[in-house]
Structure 1
Amino acid sequence: MCDNIPAMTFAADELLNLAIMTKVPVLIVEGIDDIPIYERLSMAISVECDVYAAATLSKGREGCRGVLDNISEIRSAAEGIPVESFVLGVIDRDARFYRGELDLDPAIFALNYYSIESHYISACSVEFLIPRFTSATRKLINPEMAKIIFDSIFSEIAYLYYVSLEALKKACDRTYDSEFGYSDTIKSIINRGLHVKIMDKKPELDAFAESLNLSLSTENLLKICKGKWVGEIYSDHLYNTMIDLPGNCQEEKVPQCQACRTGEPEKCLYRKTSFFSSDILMHQAFHNTDAQYLGYIKSKIKALSAACETGVRN
């Protein structure tokens, strides 16, 4: 027996047949950590679907390559059945998109942003998270206030746009003499001061961005910045912002709560009510199924469910 042959939990035709018989569509995602996110999104729109990580279907084939290989194997076994009506592979919008390598099977769905984590970097997460760890309700952290806080954080992390351009240029041009790539951790890049050093390349990186029709904006940052990078740095800044809220409330830099307004800052509604950290904030953000950038994903899952029910191509 050869140990190098990938072993599937389900054979390709079995997985497809299961979806056809049960009328429960299948999502194949890149990683184990993605499973609960997509399950929550499906439940939020009252859709039942089975979510599998690529590597749990085909051992040793992970990430985007694993999703593509699994869909290819299912397609090969489909014998004319419209796979995209029953099974959907979800992949990140990574450097492959900018290298023109995504000539996709109809059963493959590429995200609009770099990864699923990227979809939770928005004012929605501010409005969602602060009331979960403080007594400040959405009367204080309303959409307008959440946007002010988010815009302030974005102005501090906008340097990630050029960090991402540097990594993307390396991924697209093998001859490019880069300072780092997507395989580096964001903290190692920052600790080495490379996020500052690359600003010497700003004209060159701007020209590269222009060739891809990119300019500095929240959405473009989320398209090219590795999800784990922007998630880590964003949650660090949000954590610091939340720690500073009681002091800012006393100084009326944010909408002032009743306690501070009546001279009782020790009872400030912005005080934390439970322990939290940067990591906890990011993982809790994934519970917000109403985040603004998720709508198109929920629509795709709903369309897949309808197609699975009828057997019609979605």
Structure 2
Amino acid sequence: MASTGKIWFITGAASGFGRCLITEVLGRGDRVIATSRSLAPLAALEGTTENLRLLQLDVTDGPDIIKSKMAEAVAFFGGLDVIVNNAGANYTGILEEGGSAFLRKQFDICLFGVMDVTTAALPYLRAQKDGTVVIIGSRSAWIPEVPGIGSYASSKAAVHALAEGFSGELAHLNIRVLLVEPSAFRTPMAKADGFLDGLKRTDGIPDYDVPRNKTLGLFTNFPPPAGDPVRGMRAVVDVVKGEGVAAGKPWPTYLVLGRDAEKAILAKTETLKRHLQEWTEVVRGVEFESNL
């Protein structure tokens, strides 16, 4: 008999966080609809358990196709409980060199894909007045100053704000939103083919060679990340199910994973606090006299 636990819909499930989530969720007795742009990497899982279904899904296919795919997903087990927006891409490159076309490519996957998947799922969650939307963000949203990651960081900053927007709009419907903000983890993303192509382009603007080479050196000599994706996704499942490290704790909305993410967030908030303190007179001095 199939499990009566939660039904999870996971994008980008072929590797990394997504693949770890499949194992963790199934291990808790829940059911999974695992999606990926290509199902080939997931073929070995086909038919291994009645609690798993595979569905081809490209998050950039647009809202109409994604709505159709979501209806197909709902039919597998008769419902949905948890949507995990994990699919993503990281295109490095100098902002001026890539221009808006490069930025649109990044946003299409990391922002608009999240939007289309989430809005395709929401009618089902709203109908049952219950559910969870998980959005995988990144610590990069807090460190966009690193040359070459501006497009990725800005897409993640946008998706962070999107998650917070959904959180405010869905709370009264008993639909929770969890924004996961991970550090670097040992997943295939940073080693993916083409990851550094945008920084290695031969027609780049020479004025950017110094910061470009600094970032290339950073990534080329980057030590193995400290983040363990198995432990990271175990924490995500704990929070969604209120188990393990999350037992007895209130819903967090944010889940920061890793010391590098913690460090980046603390540094940025301290910078903003210093700005507010040093510029208090200007911050407060631009209002009408009656408000001063």
TM-score bin (small chain): 0.3 to 0.5
Instruction: Using CA pairs under 8 Å that are at least 6 residues apart, name the structure with larger relative contact order, 1 or 2.
Output: 1
Comparing both structures, which one devotes a greater share of its residues to strand? 2
Larger Rg: 1
